[in-house]
Amino acid sequence: MQRFAGLKEALCNAFCGGLTLTDVPVGYAVNTTFRRDDGDSVGFYIVRDEKRAGLFRIEDDGTTVPSLEAAGVEFSTEARSEAFVTLLESHQVEFDEDEMLLHTMPLREEDLPAAAMRFVSLMLRMSDFLLLTRDKVASTFKEDAAHLIRERIGDRAVIAEGEAISPSLQDTIPDMVLRAPERRPVALFFGTSEKRVYEAILLQMQALYEANEDIAVVALLESDAILNRDLRRRASNRLEALPTFRGDEVEAIHRVTREVLGGELKSTVH
């Protein structure tokens, strides 16, 4: 227990407090106050070396890499594989493909605090792979949707990207502005996040109450999971349309283009 107390003190000093260390059969289970993007705390194990007394190895629980792969991260691609190897090397960590474990080399007890800090840094950095995958998915959604919109509209409307819908509404830039003859201009937002939908609502409110301009604002959601129930209700009540793309692509694009090319127009200016 004296060794246990000394190790806990050293680790707590390294992590600035807020750390729990539990004695388990293989060594110690360590839980930190650092949190990943999914809200779970970062933890690891300090495992005794069965063959060499006085040496330890830091390991994850064997789920880090499989969880990322299940979420769509492909470590088999050349670029992702190289990035993974570089990340491991910079943190002095290895990956056991058979056991799916991230682990250090055997370490002396006095080397554990510094190695533990590096290991936690690695665990936090691993989530970057998931962020890159999400960005790729979002990019694919926007590319697919934009292609279908251009195909559907053809030369019946002018499509602009990355510009304000009018000089008086410069603060919030939609993903697309669609203008057809004798129709209201449509500001289209690709709803890849709650933030983007909030921006769509803001533009609609600015047009209605500040600029007094007759525009239609549409947020095309990637999926229903993007919004919580409260934000979905607010967006539905304020935006001209809130279609969902994945699983019903054709009808979602028709809903967007009806605001540009046809259908009943509802004035938003009073």
Q: What is the per-residue pLDDT for 265? A: 35
pLDDT at 118 over 80: yes
Mean pLDDT of all residues in 146-157: 91
pLDDT at residue 138 above 70? no
At residue 8, what are phi and psi to the nearest 5 degrees? Answer: -60, -40
3-state SS, residue 170: coil
C-beta of residue 238 within 8 angstroms of C-beta of residue 232: no
Mind listing the pLDDT tens digit for each residue in 155-193?
999 999 989 999 988 888 999 999 999 899 999 999 888
* pLDDT for residue 90 is more than 80: yes
Residue scoring higher pLDDT (94 or 131): 94
Cα 113 to its chain centre, rounded Å, is 30
Cα 102 to its chain centre, rounded Å, is 23
Query: Which residues, other chains included, contact 121 with Cβ-Cβ below 8 Å and sequence gap of 6+?
Result: 91
The predicted model gives 191-205 an average pLDDT of: 88
Q: What residues does 41 pair with on adjacent strands? A: 35
Predicted pLDDT at 39: 66
**In a 10 Å sphere around its CB, with 0-12 CB exposed, 13-18 middle and 19+ buried, how is residue 228 labelled?**
exposed
| Contacting residues for 190 by C-beta, under 8 A, at least 6 apart | 138, 141, 142, 145, 175, 196, 219, 220, 222
Condensed to tens digits (0 to 9), the pLDDT of residues 1-55 reads 445 556 666 666 555 556 788 989 989 999 887 777 666 788 899 999 888 888 9
Give the residue from 10, 1, 8, 4 showing the smallest Cα distance to 110.
10
Side by side, which strands form the sheet with 216-221?
A: 158-161, 176-179, 186-191, 216-221
Residue 190's beta-bridge partner residues? Answer: 220
Instruction: Give the DSSP H or E segment for 94.
Output: strand 94-96
The confidence score (pLDDT) of residue 1 equals 43
Mean pLDDT of 140-147: 85
Q: What is the pLDDT of residue 253?
A: 93
Compare 270 and 237 and report the one with higher pLDDT: 237
pLDDT beyond 50 at 269: no
Residue 232 to residue 224: CA distance in whole angstroms: 9
DSSP character at residue 224: G
Domain ranges in the chain?
A: 2-135, 154-261
pLDDT at 198 over 80: yes
pLDDT of residue 259: 87
d(CA 98, CA 96): 6
Question: What pLDDT does residue 184 have?
Answer: 92
Which of 226, 49, 11 shows the shortest CA–CA distance to 137? 226
Confidence band for 102, pLDDT divided at 50, 70 and 90: very high
pLDDT tens per residue across span 206-265: 888 888 899 999 999 988 888 888 889 989 999 999 999 988 889 999 999 988 887 543
